[in-house]
């Protein structure tokens, strides 16, 4: 029996592991001898995990909650290491799958390798090349420790090999987010608020914001928000927590930017898939925009997946209000670039991952 442990550290991770769990279940139904446990580093009471999330993703809730929740990344790392070691003491484990680049992900990776257990990194090889970013350090550590590097594209492969990863460890499996999007496509729900606002598909822009550095620079952010406000198109911003507070404090009333309640996965999926365009600082949102062929402006100078720019619908404007204005003009004039799906962004990434793990058993 192959015992697989899948570890998540934040809400977006669940969207990426849901297809893997479904692929494991299908493999078991086909007679494969494997089992899995889903572990969440946070608490069962985490407010970001809305009740509908697991139903929307058609996946079970975590088997284990480590219960770690603290603002200090260093403290969080230490506490997750301690809790995950206790998990491994109690549960036979042959391979651990970690996702993305969180402090909790790095903590789990370190404990896994100290115990001599195989480690697989999902969405490996992503780089900002900015060592001042905590997540960049996490990426370097996790990739350096991993036995299996599951990458989304050629650029991620190149990053891994440039840093000395052996070729037999690298598997270009594609973008796991596309699996979730394809699976959810026919179940996406049009948000009721669009009817209340009298908006149809293509009548609006979507704005999301979460990056701490941009939220902290309120002067720069205000200049960018002013550009968005005069776009001439309603802008829907489903923000929560600190981003909602900061943006609200910088907006003049009334504003073309409408702060709305955060949406569940299926409603947010409909909102972005049917938008005229998207303005975001989220790599995941930009990747989904490429899948949906929706113009996307990213408020960052880099992207984890350059495929979204080279082939997809994404354009990087950094934190430059003038570049944002130019990009918005192009978007609203209907002259956005043509785009296509990158290689292996076909909704079968989870199948490749699970088959690889089985073949290497």
* Residue 71: pLDDT band with limits 50, 70, 90: confident
Report whether pLDDT(339) > 90. Answer: yes
- Computed over every residue of the chain, the mean pLDDT equals 95
Average pLDDT over residues 196-200: 96
| Residues 254-287 pLDDT 10s | 789 999 999 999 999 999 999 999 999 999 999 9
Three-state SS string over the chain comes to CEEEEEEECCHHHHHHHHHHHHHHHHHHHCCCCEEEEEEECCCCCCCCCCCCHHHHCCCCCCCEECCCCCCCHHHHHHHHHHHHHHHHHHCCCCEEEEECCCHHHHHHHHHHHHCCCEEEEECCCCCCCCCCCHHHHHHHHHHHHCCEEEECCHHHHHHHHHCCCCHHHEEECCCHHHHHHHHHHHHCCCCCHHHHHCCCCCCCEEECCCCHHHHHCHHHHHHHHHHHHCCCCCEEEECCHHHHHHHHHHCCCCCCEEEECCCCHHHHHHHHHCCCEEEECCHHHHHHHHHHCCCEEECCCCCCCCHHHHCCCEEECCCCHHHHHHHHHHHHCCCCCCCCCCCCCCCCHHHHHHHHHHHCC
- Percent of the chain surpassing pLDDT 70: 100
At residue 361, the pLDDT reads 82
* Residue 14: pLDDT band with limits 50, 70, 90: very high
At residue 204, the pLDDT reads 98
* Residue 47: pLDDT band with limits 50, 70, 90: confident
Report whether pLDDT(253) > 80. Answer: no
Report whether pLDDT(142) > 90. Answer: yes
| Residues 17-38 pLDDT 10s | 999 999 999 999 999 999 999 9
* Residue 128: pLDDT band with limits 50, 70, 90: confident
Average pLDDT over residues 202-207: 97
* Residue 79: pLDDT band with limits 50, 70, 90: very high
| Residues 82-123 pLDDT 10s | 999 999 999 999 999 999 999 999 999 999 999 999 999 999
At residue 100, the pLDDT reads 96
Note whether 61 and 86 are within 8 A (CB). no
| Residues 156-192 pLDDT 10s | 999 999 999 999 999 999 999 999 999 999 999 999 9
């Amino acid at each position: 029996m192959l015992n697989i442990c899948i570890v998540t550290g934040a809400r977006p991770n669940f969207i990426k592991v849901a297809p893997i769990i479904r692929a494991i279940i299908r493999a078991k139904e086909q007679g494969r001898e494997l089992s899995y446990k889903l572990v969440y580093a946070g608490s069962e009471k985490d407010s970001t995990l809305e009740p509908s999330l697991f139903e929307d993703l058609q996946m079970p809730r975590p088997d284990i909650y480590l219960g770690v929740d603290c603002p200090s990344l260093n403290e969080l790392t230490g506490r997750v290491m301690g809790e995950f070691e206790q998990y491994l003491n109690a549960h036979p484990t042959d391979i651990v799958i970690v996702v993305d680049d969180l402090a909790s992900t790095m903590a789990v990776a370190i404990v896994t390798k100290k115990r001599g257990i195989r480690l697989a990194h999902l969405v490996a090889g992503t780089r900002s090349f900015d060592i001042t970013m905590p997540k960049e350090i996490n990426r370097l550590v996790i990739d350096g420790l991993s036995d299996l590097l599951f990458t989304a594209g050629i650029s991620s492969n190149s990053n891994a090999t440039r840093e000395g990863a052996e070729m037999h460890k690298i598997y270009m499996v594609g973008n796991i987010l596309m699996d979730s999007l394809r699976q959810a496509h026919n179940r996406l729900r049009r948000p009721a608020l669009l009817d209340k606002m009298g908006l149809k598909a293509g009548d609006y822009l979507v704005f999301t914001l979460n990056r701490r550095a941009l939220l902290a620079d309120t002067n720069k952010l205000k200049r960018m928000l002013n550009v968005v406000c005069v776009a001439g198109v309603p802008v829907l911003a489903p923000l929560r927590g600190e981003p909602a507070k900061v943006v609200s404090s910088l907006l003049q009333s009334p504003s073309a930017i409408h702060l709305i309640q955060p949406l569940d996965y299926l409603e947010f999926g409909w909102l972005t898939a049917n938008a005229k365009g998207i303005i975001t600082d989220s790599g995941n949102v930009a990747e989904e925009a490429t899948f949906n062929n929706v113009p996307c402006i990213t408020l960052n100078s880099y992207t984890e997946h350059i495929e979204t720019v080279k082939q997809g619908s994404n354009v990087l404007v950094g934190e430059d209000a003038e570049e944002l204005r130019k990009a918005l003009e192009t978007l609203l004039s209907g002259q956005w670039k043509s785009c296509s799906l990158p290689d292996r962004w076909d909704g079968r990434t989870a199948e490749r991952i699970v088959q690889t793990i089985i073949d290497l058993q």
